[in-house]
Amino acid sequence: MEDKLFGCINIYKPTGMTSHDVVSVLRRLVGIKQIGHTGTLDPFAEGVLLVCIGKATRLIEYMADDKAYIGTVQLGKTTTTYDTEGEVVKTSDKKVSLEEIKIALENFKGEIEQLPPKYSAIKVKGKKLYEYARKGEEVEIKPRKVTINELRIENFDQQNQTLELYINCSKGTYIRSIANDLGEVLGTGGYLTKLVRIKAGKFRVEGAVKLDDLKSEEDVEKNLIYPLEYLDYPKYELNEAEKEKVSHGISVDTSLSDGVSILTYSGKIAAVCKIQNGKSVLAKVFI
C-alpha cells in the first residue's frame, strides 16, 4: 500500500541550522527528495521540527499546526531583527516590575494583529522581506492575524530584566515580534535571546530525536512515526469492496459528518477525503 519510508520524524533542530538544512541532511541519509517540514524555525531557534518523509508529505496540510514555545526576552534593547542576530538600534535604562509585565502581556492574548519582522522570509512582490531589509529598501508590511492561545510568564529576573515566556500559538506567529512589541508597550525595548519550540501539533520536545543521532537510513526508519493517530479527523475503515473503489478514485458512501475525514484500510491510511452530504470526495489517495 505504501512506500517503505512513509511517516513523520520528530527532529530536535539545533541552533545554527535552517529548517532546510535539516531536510537536506535527511535527504542525503535516505536518498529521496520527497521530504518536507511542517513549520520553519529560525536558525538561532531550536526544538521540535516535524518532518514528513515520502508520500506522507502529502499529509502536511492536514497536520495540526498549533505550536508552543519557550522564549527568552531581554528588555532594555531593540535590535533590527528582533533577536540576537541583529544590530542594537535602541537602548533603555528603564526597569519594569513583574506586575507591569503581566499587565502588558494582556495585549498579546487571543486573536491579535501582528506585524512580521522586516528580517523574515515572508514574500512581498515576489521577494522575501529580508532581501529588501538587507538592501535598505522600504516595503509595505501588512499586519497579519494570529492567535495566542496561552501566554504566561515562566521566569523573570528583575535585576537583569530578562523574561522567560511560554507561548502557545497558531501557525505563522512570530515570537520575535512578540518580544519586540512587548518591549514597545513597556517602553523599554525588547528582543528575543533564545527560542525553543517545545510542541508542534501533537509532537512534543520530549520525543524529539537529535539530528546527530541519525547516521543512516536505518536510523531514520527506526524513528519514523506512522501519522494516523496524529491526524485529528474522523476515521472510516473501508471494507474490501470500498477499498477497491477508492484505489480507483471512486468515492464511497460513509456515515461520517461533513468535513475532512481519513479513510483507512487494515488500520492504514488509504485516503483523505471531504465528506459532503455523506458522500466522500477524495482529496489524496494512498492505495
Catalytic residues: 42
Q: Do strands 77-79 and 67-75 pair parallel, antiparallel, or not at all (unpaired)?
A: unpaired
Cα–Cα distances in angstroms (integers) from residue 108 to residues 8, 77, 217, in the given order: 32, 20, 43
* Residue 53 parent element (H or E): strand 46-53
* Residue 89 parent element (H or E): strand 88-91
Measured between alpha carbons, how far is 82 from 73 in angstroms, rounded to an integer? Answer: 10
Q: Evaluate whether 125 touches 133 at the Cβ level (below 8 Å).
A: no
Measured between alpha carbons, how far is 287 from 264 in angstroms, rounded to an integer? Answer: 10
Paired residues of 148 in beta bridges: 110, 169
Cα–Cα distances in angstroms (integers) from residue 152 to residues 101, 155, 172, 198, 287, in the given order: 10, 9, 19, 15, 45
User: In angstroms, how far is the first alpha carbon of the chain from the final one?
Assistant: 5
Closest CA to 47 of 177, 181, 175, 220: 175
Paired residues of 236 in beta bridges: 263
Block residue for cell numbers 484500510? 265
Cα Dmax for the chain: 73
Measured between alpha carbons, how far is 163 from 169 in angstroms, rounded to an integer? Answer: 18
CA atoms within 13 A on the CB side of 83: 19
